[in-house]
Amino acid sequence: MAWKMLAAASELFPAIVRAGTATPPRPQPPAARNSPSPTVHRHAPPAARLGSAGTVLVVDVDGALLLSRSLFPYFMLVALEAGSFLRGLVLLLLYPAIRCCYCCLGGGDLAVRAMAAVAFCGLRARTFRAGRAVLPRWLLEDVAAEALEAARRVGDPARVVWASAMPRVMVEPFLREYLQVPAAAAVAAREMKTAWGFYTGLMEGGGEDCEATMALMTKRTSAGEGAGDVVGFSAARSVAFLSSSPLASTCKVEVYVVCPEEKSKWRRLARRDYPTPLVFHDGRLAFLPTPLNTVAMFTWLPLGAALAILRLAVALALPYKVATALLAATGQSWRLRGSLPPPGNSGGSGQLYACNHRTLIDPVYVSIALDRPVRAVSYSLSRVSDLISPIGATVRLARDRARDGAAMARLLARGDSVVVCPEGTTCREPYLLRFSPLFAELGGAGGVVPVALAAEASMFYGTTASGWKAADPFYFLCNPRVCYTVQFLKRVDTADVAGDGKKKKAAASSVDVANRVQRLIADALGYECTMLTRKDKYLMLVGNDGAVAAPRCRQRQVTN
């Protein structure tokens, strides 16, 4: 019975993804040639239909799972994030021809191949991570809750085939890691061809890949009662392909096609319902690059570059009170939520501020809110960012507990206001990473003032894990509108905190105090606390632990 399921599903897949091979079709057995067209139902598959043990569900990811009708934004994300602005501009200029192929000529496969050629040609295959670091954020926001629920009705997840016209490197990481598609389930998508380690821009044919995928799925699933019962799940625009697809007469095959009226009532998958929470993602774009949005971005870029230079010059040349008023007129604003912290009784020592990390200019807005200079400490900061900082040089940390603690203690002993981001790296989503407890041991009699920060950007993110970090401030300042919210919370007492190496009996450990500060900031922002770290972020987005080599001069100081 297994061969029947393989034959039926291998015929159904090209109809769903609209991607046939370039070679002539192989001769079909007489039973397949004389078989009737599949039964088409114009609604989502009911739960009773998918509950049988032998049913195989083939889900059209592009047509049924995703709400949007166009794959153009996802290829544009690859072109811009993995390529360059020039590559994205070429793809945008080709959009009228791509749209014509898709709508007028019925060449959906030709349109996908053209977009893949522009987006992938010349990219290094080994370092391509947009499918894992960039695309999942946008694909998750486009998932239809009703379609995902229908796929979950299949008793055995291994009997669900996820078919897509997009290349495998674009769609499979999203399905496996964020929708929790098991390894036993098949993902039927085409591969991108490579030469000498680079993508050529050409896609594999698809027929052989489909057969291999279905054979693997058939091998991993038992035949059981009802084997060979293949059900398709797609959207209205696939009716012509699905109804004309020849199927094996020995298999019972049905296709459930969602009409536009029904799909328009579907809702996006809520963040709280994500199978895997979206904590980390990379990329510069803070918007989905639809054709109109992309045109707006390229139109804004020249003005945005000039505006970034103007904003930077104003921030460096003028006092805070004057600069903030002028910057607000350009769309760069900030607001203080609550009140300023009362002065502490620290006996002449400085004050320590612990804030969540949104962008590299977090300490600047803390300084603006306090209306006095602060000293920022950071693990990694580019020389360009340090040079243009309006609050002076940043104290660099070396990830050495003793040395970093001594450096921060010296600043506090001099009476400086010190701003530290205990997370160690930025996080864009409403989550807080684990707070390093070192800061809790240094607050002393003055305690630690938690600071809750929120940053809003309309076009570009001012952070990156894989890109050129020296450009972070320019991308942030290039936004048409940016807004920072600063909220000072109640001071946390750290006088009796003991950390590693302290022998006195303490009321609380530094870890407990760090966790308390994390919870206070999370509650103020409505975020969720996690135990994830900088290392977790970089392992996921870049493939390394995010370690930054110390400057040579600093290494010589350590060894001497």
What's residue 218's pLDDT?
A: 54
Instruction: Walk along the chain (560 residues) in steps of 10 and give the mean pLDDT of each run.
Output: 42 41 42 57 80 79 90 97 96 94 75 94 94 96 93 85 92 95 89 94 70 53 55 68 37 74 91 94 95 97 96 90 91 92 71 92 91 84 71 73 84 87 92 91 81 94 89 93 95 74 61 93 96 92 68 37
What's residue 13's pLDDT?
A: 43
What's residue 107's pLDDT?
A: 65
Going by their DSSP bridges, the two strands 198-203 and 192-195 should be labelled as antiparallel
Contacts of 344 (CB under 8 A, 6+ apart): 351, 445, 446, 447, 449, 491
CA distance 378 to 424: 8
At the topology level of CATH, where does 2-23+31-273 sit?
Answer: Rossmann fold (3.40.50)
Instruction: Report yes or no: 275 and 455 within 8 Å, Cβ to Cβ.
Output: no
CA distance 490 to 492: 6
What's residue 552's pLDDT?
A: 44
Domain(s) labelled CATH 3.40.1130 in the chain stretch across 299-559
Instruction: Report yes or no: 150 and 44 within 8 Å, Cβ to Cβ.
Output: yes
Read out DSSP for 253-308? EEEEEE-HHHHTT--BPPGGG-SS-------SBSS---HHHHHHHHHHHHHHHHHH
CA distance 171 to 399: 37
Hey, how many other C-beta atoms are within 10 angstroms of the C-beta on 111?
26
What's residue 87's pLDDT?
A: 97
User: For domain 299-559, is the CATH number 3.40.1130?
Assistant: yes
Domain(s) labelled CATH 3.40.50 in the chain stretch across 2-23+31-273
